[in-house]
Amino acid sequence: MGILVRAIPKSLAWLIILASSFLQAAEIFQPECAAIESWSQTYDNSATFEPLPGWEVNALFSDDKTQNLFGKVVVAWDNADTTSLQKSLYECRKEAAAHKDTAMVKQLGTVIKETKKTYKQLRKLWSAQKAVPCEF
């Protein structure tokens, strides 16, 4: 995130950080496994999305996908949200394994790995938010 803040004007960085603080609300929705499986099928290793200037994540986490499925855009997520998503992904993977759906088990495993990468990026965003003193 330090690179992101230096790469854009300070006024815009402040605006992004403040806006993402306001966006953080209730925990993400917990969709059924069928919805998570459909979402996971949209994964494309080469497709990216830039939720903030200079910050790329996989297109799986684009605003339209995360808002529609989880009720929040990815930049508004917090630690509880990422933990909740990981739990759902593991539960759905376990369910797919119980149904002997090896293709879905593999697909969800890939998405779990991508989610961990995105989580690392989110931690950088959260660190930047903490580093910028904000009073409301």
Each residue's pLDDT tens digit, 34-79:
999 999 999 999 999 998 888 899 999 999 999 999 999 998 998 8
Predicted pLDDT of residue 28: 87
Predicted pLDDT of residue 55: 86
70 contact partners, CB below 8 Å, separation of at least 6:
28, 29, 31, 81, 85
Output the pTM of the full model.
Answer: 0.75
Question: What is the spatial distance between Cα 85 and Cα 91, in angstroms, rounded to a whole number?
Answer: 10
Residue 124 has pLDDT above 80, yes or no: yes
- Write down the residue that tokens 């609300």 correspond to: 25
Task: Tell me the torsion sign for CA atoms 24, 25, 27, 29.
Answer: negative
- Write down the residue that tokens 């684009």 correspond to: 62
Instruction: Give the count of beta carbons closer than 10 Å to the beta carbon of residue 83.
Output: 12
Question: What is the spatial distance between Cα 21 and Cα 7, in angstroms, rounded to a whole number?
Answer: 20
Residue 135 has pLDDT above 50, yes or no: no
Question: What is the spatial distance between Cα 67 and Cα 32, in angstroms, rounded to a whole number?
Answer: 15
Predicted pLDDT of residue 121: 86
